[in-house]
Amino acid sequence: MMTPSEVGKVSVVQSENRTLNFSEIFAASCRIRDHVVRTPLLESPVLNERLGGRILVKPEMLQKTGSFKFRGACNRILQLTLGERRGGVVAWSSGNHALAISAVCALLDIPAHIIMPESAPQMKIEGARRYGAKVRLYDRATENREEIGAQIADSEGAVIVPPYDDFNVMAGQGTVGLEIMEQCRELGIMPDNVLSSASGGGLVAGIATAVRTCRPETSIYSVEPAGFDDLARSLASGHRVENAGGMNTLCDSLMVPTPGALTFPTNHALLADGLVVNDAEIRVGMANCFEHFKLVAEPGGAAPLAAILSGKLDVREKVTVAVLSGGNVDPSVYSSIL
Amino acid sequence: MMTPSEVGKVSVVQSENRTLNFSEIFAASCRIRDHVVRTPLLESPVLNERLGGRILVKPEMLQKTGSFKFRGACNRILQLTLGERRGGVVAWSSGNHALAISAVCALLDIPAHIIMPESAPQMKIEGARRYGAKVRLYDRATENREEIGAQIADSEGAVIVPPYDDFNVMAGQGTVGLEIMEQCRELGIMPDNVLSSASGGGLVAGIATAVRTCRPETSIYSVEPAGFDDLARSLASGHRVENAGGMNTLCDSLMVPTPGALTFPTNHALLADGLVVNDAEIRVGMANCFEHFKLVAEPGGAAPLAAILSGKLDVREKVTVAVLSGGNVDPSVYSSIL
């Protein structure tokens, strides 16, 4: 017999041979709606005038835990069976995914195990602990976080929730795209372009699926920092390529070596192109979030606005939506950028 | 015969002998809804845990032009007759009211005349000009802004829109309170306390009218900076008193000498008390807006959160809404406070 939480549960096929479906995003939206913030769609007449087009921002720094990651974590964890809830969740991350998993688990009273590098900012380690997560620190040089994760999953009976290579996580992030379409409809407009930052590619894959199912003419662009443009190059070559390594960026949240195995087929099928911005452009993006929108953007969160402001895309006489993915930035770093 | 914009127009009695009505706020809400941002109601589980109560913020820095002032300006200017529109609007302000008037006039293609002190920050003068307003600078020592305003009103046939002593302006600001009640209902909660900063008192009068009409048990508090606590002392004494003068504050937007003649009867009838915060407490409020909400608050905008964090009100086991009135702050000032 099925337990109550298993009734109506559809098994999700996690496979590299398929793309994300719109129905998964719509189901996620129904599932998580009481838990997430429906972030507004904002615009600045002054910025619109300057750019000669209509720019709307979707500020996911206003989401719980300060980033869109709460949506995907929420969608996955709400689908745990009663038995799985007892064992809890394991995740590895030094940033926004860790905070999101910790907060969702706190909300649902589920144990959370977070594996973080010893070198992670103290602020972020404390952040996860504040939500009651058990933080397991590891040494990047001598230990492997996937192995530690597998051990905890095994010994505690915990479920691993990956940051992007999971269709439930992608579907949760895709609710950003669904809200964009609903909010554009309320405003009586339709987006010509939607820009989102990309790390593993879960957010942009979810947004592309939601937006282009509703309106196939809309162009979706990923935005990555210079030196970490693995998705842009993978889109160009048609298969997943790695970053060269040895590079640095202000965008601590956008530093994965290669696109996700499960996110790439969707992004390859749906994205128009991958845009790339450098640190100087990111700084301008952050300062413009401050000036025109009164929003605190972390470096990676400002990447789409940075791409627009630096002319990477022609937005004149178009409606362009820039998703601002998060705002978790240290005050001293922020001050130095302003 | 009535012109189209006069049909259904109800003449508004501007008098010290009455209080604001709920119906005026509801009408304002219908009138301005296509033009204003319905700012979200946000909360932080971490902050709630720390304070032992539920704190929700209403971030009016996300409103157009970066403050709530856009609402009142919009409600007043939308009611100009076709003849009045041709003559335009006159207003005096060195800050948020000037930006709001300029932006509403730009939206409706109406001439705007803004009278600002020569000593106003260049950024704010430029801000009004960007929206196409004609800025008339005056010398605070030798000229009187009301006289200049009356001259322009006379020569141009322009309508004066005051920053708070006008029932249409108050009603527009009151839509903040109406949205708070709607959003609380959506969340399945009701506010025990609502805090708003006060300068002339139009915002808090509007909020108090909206909230206490819907729920008379809710306590409404004004928050002012130390040295500019004219409303708190006026509430205590039962009549309008002036500030001593010679004081300074970080809160450039909250520096009026005495409560408004038309706002005070409403505030006297409806407010529970007036709270006062000092500059150090304001800084903590601004830093907490950054940390927990990723919002840029100007000093005056952070005053209600500052009052809560400094223990001016017992919020334990209560639902408390803090209205954050604006976010127009110079980046260098902001950096120094973080």
Write down the pLDDT at residue B123: 75
- Please indicate whether residue B294 is annotated as part of the active site: no
Q: What global pTM score does this model have? A: 0.93
Q: What is the mean pLDDT of residues A132-137?
A: 95
Check CB contact of A22 with chain B, cutoff 8 Å: no
Mention every residue, 6+ apart, whose C-beta is less than 8 A from residue B174: B20, B24, B25, B28, B205, B206, B207, B209, B210
From B68's Cα to the closest Cα of chain A, the distance in A is 13
**Which element (helix H / strand E) includes A211?**
helix A202-214
Write down the pLDDT at residue B9: 53
CA distance B259 to B253: 14
Q: For the segment B99-158, what is each residue's pLDDT rounded down to a tens digit? A: 999 999 999 999 999 999 887 777 778 889 999 999 999 998 899 888 999 999 999 999
Residue of A294, A325, A335 to mutate for B, most B C-beta atoms under 10 A:
A294
Q: For the segment B215-274, what is each residue's pLDDT rounded down to a tens digit? A: 999 999 999 999 999 999 999 999 999 999 888 899 888 888 899 999 999 999 999 999
Say yes or no for a CB contact (<8 Å) between B64 and A49: no
Q: For the segment B176-223, what is each residue's pLDDT rounded down to a tens digit? A: 999 999 999 999 999 999 999 999 999 999 999 999 999 999 999 999
- What chain A holds in terms of domains, given with CATH numbers, is 22-68+167-337 (3.40.50.1100), 70-160 (3.40.50.1100)
- What Cα–Cα distance (Å) separates residue B250 from each residue in A334, B201, B226, B278? 21, 18, 10, 9
Q: For the segment A273-283, what is each residue's pLDDT rounded down to a tens digit? A: 999 999 999 99
Check CB contact of B56 with chain A, cutoff 8 Å: no
Which residue in B270, B305, B253, B47 sits closest to B174, CA to CA? B270
**pLDDT of B57 higher than 80:** yes
Which token pair is B13? Answer: 């009695």
Which residue in A284, A281, A295 sits closest to A326, CA to CA? A295
The proportion of chain B whose per-residue pLDDT surpasses 70, expressed as a percent, equals 97
Q: Which of A64, A290, A327 sits opposite B331 (nearest CB)?
A: A290
**pLDDT of A4 higher than 80:** no
Q: In this structure, which amino acid lies at residue A329? A: V
Write down the pLDDT at residue B1: 46
Give B 243-272 residues with CB within 8 A of chain A.
none
Q: In this structure, which amino acid lies at residue B136? A: R
Angle between helical axes of A96-108 and A122-130 (0-180°, round to 10): 10
Mean pLDDT across chain A: 94
Whether B113 and B134 have beta carbons less than 8 Å apart is answered as: yes
**pLDDT of A248 higher than 50:** yes
pLDDT band for position A7 (cuts 50, 70, 90): very low
Instruction: Indicate if ipTM > 0.95.
Output: no
**Which element (helix H / strand E) includes B246?**
none
**pLDDT of A287 higher than 70:** yes
Burial A179-195 (b: 16+ CB within 10 A, else e): bbbebbeeeeeebbbbb
**pLDDT of B33 higher than 50:** yes
- Please indicate whether residue B23 is annotated as part of the active site: no
Q: For the segment A192-232, what is each residue's pLDDT rounded down to a tens digit? A: 999 999 999 999 999 999 999 999 999 999 999 999 999 99
Check CB contact of A327 with chain B, cutoff 8 Å: yes
Write down the pLDDT at residue A1: 46
Mean pLDDT across chain B: 94
pLDDT band for position B7 (cuts 50, 70, 90): very low
Write down the pLDDT at residue A2: 46
